[in-house]
Each structure stands twice: as C-alpha cells, then as structure tokens.
C-alpha cells in the first residue's frame, strides 16, 4: 500500500449568480460532492465575490466566484476539473497549487466579506460624481463644436448667396 501525498490547492469556482442567489446551499453541496469524489480535504470554502464578467459565459453576464482551499492527491485534480466541465451548475474552475500559502493567508477576508454595503454605496456615489463631471465636460465640448459648426454654416450661406447672384446675372 503506497502513501498518498496530498498537496494544498486553491480552486476558484465560477457559478451563475442567479443560481447562487436562488439556492446557495445546492451550489455548496455540489462543490463538496466534487471534493469528496476526489478524496480532497476541504480546508476553507467561502464566497469570494459576485462580479460582472468581461464576456458572457453560457449566456450569463454575471458570475459568483467561490474560493476553495483543499488538500488533494495531485493525480485527482484532473478529476475535479472534469467534474466541473460535466456539471450543469458550474461554469468554470481554476485550480492552482499553493503549497507555500500560510493559514493566515487562507483565512484572509474575501472582497465579499471585507466590502460592506456602505462601501459599495460610496463607490456608487463616486461613480455618479465621475459621470456627472464627465457629462459637464461633454456638454462644454458639444457647445464648442456647435459654435464651430455655426461658423461653417455661415460660410456655406455666403457661398449659396454668391451662387444665386451669379445665376441672376447670367
């Protein structure tokens, strides 16, 4: 009987935000089922954050990221990745070996844990102020462009008037 050396891995699972909000326990159970199937020992499992994705995956524009630290036989990691590909619940997974990560680093607060609603509200207000400032600049730019266009229109009117005079002479 050979001894299995389990290594520490970090897995970032991506699931549809709607599904995560609707049935969080079902999502967690699915991840734990995959870990159990690979004979992995879960060290930490927590919601990392919910974000808008750069591009749509499976026609979804938002995703919930779940961060899992686990000890697993290196040969069984491919099985976890395969289970994610076969799962209708999971959209993606990224598994990285993290042997040098300390327990303190594993226990650090995630963006979902460290950013209370007040912080999100403050960021929203900052964004609104940035947009308002940009809108004022855009209005100034449009006003300048309209002034420039008025000069061009005046030039065109003179040309038209000049053409009309030439027609009357002929």
Side-chain-side CA neighbours of residue 6 (13 Å): 14
* Residue whose structure tokens are 């935000």: 17
Q: How far from chain centre, in Å, is Cα 104?
A: 26
Region of 168 (left: φ > 0; alpha: ψ -120 to 50; beta: rest) is alpha
Q: In this structure, what are the phi and psi dihedrals at residue 21, rounded to the nearest 5 degrees? A: -70, -35
Q: What is the pLDDT of residue 107?
A: 83
What confidence tier does 153 reach under pLDDT thresholds 50, 70, 90?
A: very low
Share of the chain above pLDDT 90, in %: 45
Helix/strand/coil for 146: helix
The fold of 7-112 is Alpha-Beta Plaits (3.30.70)
Locate the domains of the chain by residue range: 7-112, 116-170
Side-chain-side CA neighbours of residue 137 (13 Å): 6
């Amino acid at each position: 009987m050979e001894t299995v050396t389990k290594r520490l891995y970090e897995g970032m699972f991506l699931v549809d935000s709607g599904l995560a909000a609707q049935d969080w326990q079902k999502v967690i159970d699915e991840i734990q089922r995959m870990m159990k199937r690979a004979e992995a020992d879960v060290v930490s499992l927590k919601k990392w954050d919910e974000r808008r994705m750069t591009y749509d995956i499976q026609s979804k524009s938002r995703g919930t990221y779940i961060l899992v630290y686990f000890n697993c036989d290196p040969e069984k990691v491919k099985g976890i990745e395969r289970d994610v590909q076969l799962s209708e619940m999971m959209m993606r997974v990224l598994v990285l070996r993290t042997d040098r990560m300390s327990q303190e680093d594993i226990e650090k607060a995630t963006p979902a844990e460290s950013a209370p609603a007040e912080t999100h509200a403050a960021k929203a207000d900052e964004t609104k102020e940035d947009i308002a400032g940009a809108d004022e600049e855009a209005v100034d730019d449009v006003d300048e462009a309209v002034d420039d266009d008025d000069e061009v229109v005046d030039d065109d009117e003179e040309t038209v008037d000049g053409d009309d005079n030439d027609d009357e002479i002929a």
